[in-house]
């Protein structure tokens, strides 16, 4: 495990209950994110393989949302504290501790991967390895939905996230990384959340050919 992963896991371990209380119902006020997650779940159902990994699942609220939308979702998180909370909050669902670039999932097993603001702490130089792992676990035709902070500049921007340092990405630049990993980006939704950080909220759907 790299130093930044150790720091990230420890940082989220320290805010489990606060984070869960703030984000468990947050999508109620985020119609764009809800729409993209709903579209993702519908497309996964249509392809026939309903197994979905929620990577960086945090307290498990989106894993539960996906299951409510008819897919067989389970969650992974780097933080053992988050995994423990998710298991307590959603005892009927499956959660485990794992790194996003080393998932305990067989090759080509999944119909979908959800990465909801969970790649944001990965340094830019390590992101291709992480994306390659998402491609590995997806079946042909499988879908990746990645949500992230978008920026208008030409390069990723490191910023002080409230939990631990994170990066925002130019949307086209991240689309290029997805394509370089062997995925086909086919839909994106970018909007201004009027956040104090000044970044855009970005959601991108890609398919494994």
Residues of the domain holding 43: 3-207
* Total domains, the chain: 1
pLDDT attached to residue 162: 75
User: Quick check: 41 pLDDT over 80?
Assistant: yes
Tally of CA atoms within 13 A in the half-sphere of 9 that contains its CB = 17
CB-based burial of residue 198 (10 Å sphere; 0-12 exposed, 13-18 middle, 19+ buried)? Answer: middle
- For every residue of 107-163, DSSP letters joined together read TT-EEEEEEES-STTS-GGGHHHHHHHHHHHEEEEEEEEEEEEEESSSS-EEE--SS
Q: Find, among 108, 113, 143, the residue nearest to 130 by Cα.
A: 113
Q: Look at 195 and 184; give whichever has higher pLDDT.
A: 184
The predicted model gives 21-35 an average pLDDT of: 77
User: Quick check: 1 pLDDT over 60?
Assistant: no
pLDDT attached to residue 2: 61
User: Quick check: 148 pLDDT over 70?
Assistant: yes
CATH code of residue 61: 3.40.50.150
């Amino acid at each position: 495990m790299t130093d930044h992963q150790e720091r990230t896991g420890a940082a989220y371990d320290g805010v489990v209950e606060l984070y869960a209380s703030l984000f468990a119902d947050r999508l109620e006020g985020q119609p764009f994110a809800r729409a993209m997650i709903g579209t993702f779940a519908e497309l996964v159902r249509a392809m026939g393989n309903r197994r979905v990994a929620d990577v960086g699942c945090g307290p498990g609220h989106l894993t539960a949302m996906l299951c409510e939308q008819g897919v067989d979702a389970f969650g992974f998180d780097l933080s053992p504290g988050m995994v423990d909370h998710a298991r307590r909050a959603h005892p009927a669902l499956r959660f485990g501790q794992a790194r996003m670039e080393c998932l305990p999932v067989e090759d080509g097993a999944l119909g979908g991967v959800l990465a909801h603001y969970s790649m944001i702490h990965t340094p830019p130089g390590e992101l291709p390895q992480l994306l390659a792992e998402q491609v590995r676990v997806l079946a042909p035709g499988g879908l990746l939905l990645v949500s992230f902070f978008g920026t208008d500049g030409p390069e990723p921007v490191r910023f002080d996230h409230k939990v631990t340092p994170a990066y925002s990405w130019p949307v086209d630049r991240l689309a290029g990384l997805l394509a370089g990993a062997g995925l086909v980006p086919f839909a994106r939704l970018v909007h201004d959340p009027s956040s104090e950080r000044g970044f855009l909220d970005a959601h991108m759907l890609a398919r494994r050919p």
